[in-house]
Amino acid sequence: MAELTYRNAIARGIGQEMERDERVVFIGEDIGAAGGVFKTTVGLFERFGPDRVRDTPISEQAIIGGIMGAAMNGLRPIGELMFSDFVGVAWDGIANQIAKTRYMTAGQVALPLVIRTANGGGTHFGGQHSQSVENWHMMIPGLKVVAPATPRDVVGLMAAAVRDDDPVIFLDHKKLYALKEDVPDGEIVDVLGKAVIRHPGSDVTIVALAAMVHVALEAAGRLAEHGVSAEVIDLRTLVPLDTATFLESVSRTGRLFTVEENPRLCGWGAEIASIAAEECLWDLDGPIVRITTPHIPLPAAANLEDLAIPSAERVVQTVLSQA
Amino acid sequence: MSPPNDTFEITEATRLLLYQSMLRCRALEKKAYDLFMEGLVQGTTHLGLGQEAVAAGFAATLRPDDMSFATYRGHNHMLLRGMAMAPILGECAARANGCCEGKGGSMHITEVAKGAMGSYAIVGAHLPIAVGAAWAGVVRGTGQVSLCFFGDGTTNIGTFHEAVNLAAIWKLPVVFVCENNLYMEYTPISAVIPVEYPAADRASAYGLERIIVDGNDADAVYQTAVTTVERARRGEGPSLVEALTYRHKGHSRADPGKYRPDEEVAAWLERDPLLVYRGRLESLGFPPTVLDEMEQLARAEAEAAADEVRAAPLPDPAALMTDVWANGGSEWRN
């Protein structure tokens, strides 16, 4: 057991898998000798060499198409897009090619690959380097979507993503890079599609993802002071989606809130709300309430961005106003 | 254009293979057209009629484990990797006997086990995919070469430049083949490029040789293919070939091709790659009866395949929900 940052967990998770399986390779912009612009991949180039850890030109379409081709010919590649906003540059490769090719070839083409990218706001980079794009990927059939909230989960879910035989979008969160926790030594391997209850509670269920898990946990602490017992669920993966965990929680609490960093319309919580409304309406004692970033591009100014992204205070006030 | 090298030997067997390959492509595409007219092919289809020499010349140089990537106008390339005609025509008709069981369609002919790595319907999408597949071959030490066929219009899309650049700086075994048929869909390519040759005139930007070949001359294509595929196989990096050719029909079934001047079409029909090659074989002393028999065999093969398609069932409704994931299913929740 040793303390590990979320930032260093990324290199540890990738390194764990590259050590285990020589078919695992890693490409992206400045990921090699430079160790990544966020220093998330430090040491991998030195450890595994330029044949397996490769810097690319600024060519997002070539990175995404390249890992698809590499996966078609026997490798299990990880491709990094420096910021998750850049998926827009490579969207044909992700949404039209990688997501659909297995289905469209009746299962002939296997694409065991991971697209790893720095997602989310709170770091004042402005509207094209701060977005939470998890919902963009969730709506495309054929993509699995992972967004870890803790250093331990970065390692375990990266292992699960690399070992999965389907394409996985792995969204680590920029705001969490400095987060630390004690993480067990040795190999950590999770499964995709398993949510965890981060904080048990009996009055309300709050479903969150990635950085919003920590916002929800802080809110749960403050809600306790107001006599509200909040259960916080970390979804961890959007596809596959662990519906059982939140449906069971709502059956006990009777109230459901989502805390989402993506903009309002068609955010992942809309699907959660829809499933709850269809499948556990009679367990609910009040409306399902979504707490999201408004339907706006993210501003650069710190005070404006802080207003936009859900805060613990907003979660507390929203829950209390509904109580 | 580089003239065919007189010292380059092409064996009799290779010449017969090239002719047979082109005859089979021609028969296949004519049958795809017939099936469309019979109402069996839904949606659309993009025929490679007139462009057979490019497919034949390159296919004749490949190893079974080499990988071919093509566009929606890719029936010829996929056939010549060893696919049978019935799974191609069956896929055009979206029947259960199609190579993708009817879930891909005419624009997505694929048989991975034969190195027919797919036909891609979004212009330019497959160029970086072909590059990545070539890189995997290098990492794994397989000696495979990746062949990537695309049209003249593709040279204006970003993936062309990203893919050629990456292949060049990583010195990957890729042969990029631009089939310049003079039209990007309905627009003359000359109207949308600032140079004369859409691929060859861009090659120098990536440190590559300027290679232009008569794409209606199977011998010339074959010679270029041998040179570029061997270079890739030796680890000397990618090539960018521009093959000048012409499609006999419009862009797709919706297009009668009326934007092309009659005299231009007539001139290219006189340079039909099958006519050109038939003439050459006869002048070299190949008996016409043998050549006629080869043509009959190709037509019979296509007709038998078409009969299979006509008799094939529609896809099983259960196939709707299969093969989204590696476990064979489509579940996204518990």
Express each pLDDT in B61-92 by its tens digit: 999 999 999 999 999 999 999 999 999 999 99
Candidates B129, B170, B319; nearest CB to A65:
B129
| Residues A217, A166 share a domain | no
CA B53 to chain CA mean position, Å: 10
Residue B313, domain member (yes or no): no
Tens digit of pLDDT at every position of chain A (323 positions):
999 999 999 999 999 999 999 999 999 999 999 999 999 999 999 999 999 999 999 999 999 999 999 999 999 999 999 999 999 999 999 999 999 999 999 999 999 999 999 999 999 999 999 999 999 999 999 999 999 999 999 999 999 999 999 999 999 999 999 999 999 999 999 999 999 999 999 999 999 999 999 999 999 999 999 999 999 999 999 999 999 999 999 999 999 999 999 999 999 999 999 999 999 999 999 999 999 999 999 999 999 999 999 999 999 999 999 97
Residue B312, domain member (yes or no): no
**What DSSP string describes B111-128?**
BGGGTEEEEESSTTTHHH
Boundary of a domain, candidates A183, A210, A233: A183
Say whether pLDDT at B136 is over 70: yes
* Cβ separation A97–B129 shorter than 8 A: yes
| pLDDT value, residue B4 | 57
Candidates A25, A51, A105; nearest CB to B100:
A105
The CATH number of residue A234's host domain is 3.40.50.920
| Residues A205, A119 share a domain | no
The number of distinct structural domains making up chain A is 2
Interface test with A, best of B323, B327, B330, B331 (most A CBs within 10 A): B323
Tell me if chain B has a CB within 8 Å of the CB of A274: no
Residue A279, domain member (yes or no): yes
| Residues A221, A179 share a domain | no
| Residues A90, A69 share a domain | yes
Residue A191, domain member (yes or no): no
Residue A261: phi and psi, rounded to 5, are -85, -20
Region B251-268 average pLDDT: 89
Region B149-160 average pLDDT: 97
Region B311-334 average pLDDT: 98
* Cβ separation A62–B319 shorter than 8 A: no
Return the structure tokens found at A244. Answer: 């059982």
Q: Which residues pair with B120 in a beta bridge?
A: B71
The number of distinct structural domains making up chain B is 1
Tell me if chain B has a CB within 8 Å of the CB of A95: no
Residue A190, domain member (yes or no): no
Collapsed DSSP state (helix, strand, coil) of residue A287: coil
Residue B157, domain member (yes or no): yes
| Residues A147, A226 share a domain | no
Region B105-131 average pLDDT: 96
pLDDT grade, residue B3 (50/70/90)?
low
Residue A208, domain member (yes or no): yes
Residue A161, domain member (yes or no): yes
The CATH number of residue A129's host domain is 3.40.50.970
Residue A169 CA: distances (Å) to CA of A134, A145, A164, B164: 9, 5, 11, 26
Say whether pLDDT at B133 is over 70: yes
Candidates A62, A73, A108; nearest CB to B166:
A62
Percentage, residues of chain B above pLDDT 90: 92
| Residues A171, A200 share a domain | no
Spatial contact of B146 and B69, defined as CB atoms under 8 Å apart: yes
Its domain, for residue A290, covers: 196-322
pLDDT grade, residue B42 (50/70/90)?
confident
| pLDDT value, residue A126 | 95
Spatial contact of B128 and B159, defined as CB atoms under 8 Å apart: yes
| pLDDT value, residue B1 | 55
Residue A33, domain member (yes or no): yes
Tell me if chain A has a CB within 8 Å of the CB of B258: no
| pLDDT value, residue B255 | 86
Residue A69, domain member (yes or no): yes
Could you tell me which residues come within 8 angstroms of residue B25 by beta carbon, excluding any fewer than 6 positions away? B48, B52, B55, B56, B75, B76, B79, B80
| Residues A218, A134 share a domain | no
Spatial contact of A258 and A225, defined as CB atoms under 8 Å apart: no
Return the structure tokens found at B179. Answer: 């089939």
| Residues A230, A176 share a domain | no
Tell me if chain B has a CB within 8 Å of the CB of A251: no
| Residues A304, A253 share a domain | yes
| Residues A101, A30 share a domain | yes
Residue A78, domain member (yes or no): yes
Tell me if chain B has a CB within 8 Å of the CB of A243: yes
The CATH number of residue B124's host domain is 3.40.50.970
| pLDDT value, residue B45 | 86
| pLDDT value, residue B254 | 80
| Residues A13, A51 share a domain | yes
Return the structure tokens found at A143. Answer: 């993509």
Its domain, for residue B139, covers: 12-305
* Cβ separation A101–B334 shorter than 8 A: no
| Residues A178, A144 share a domain | yes
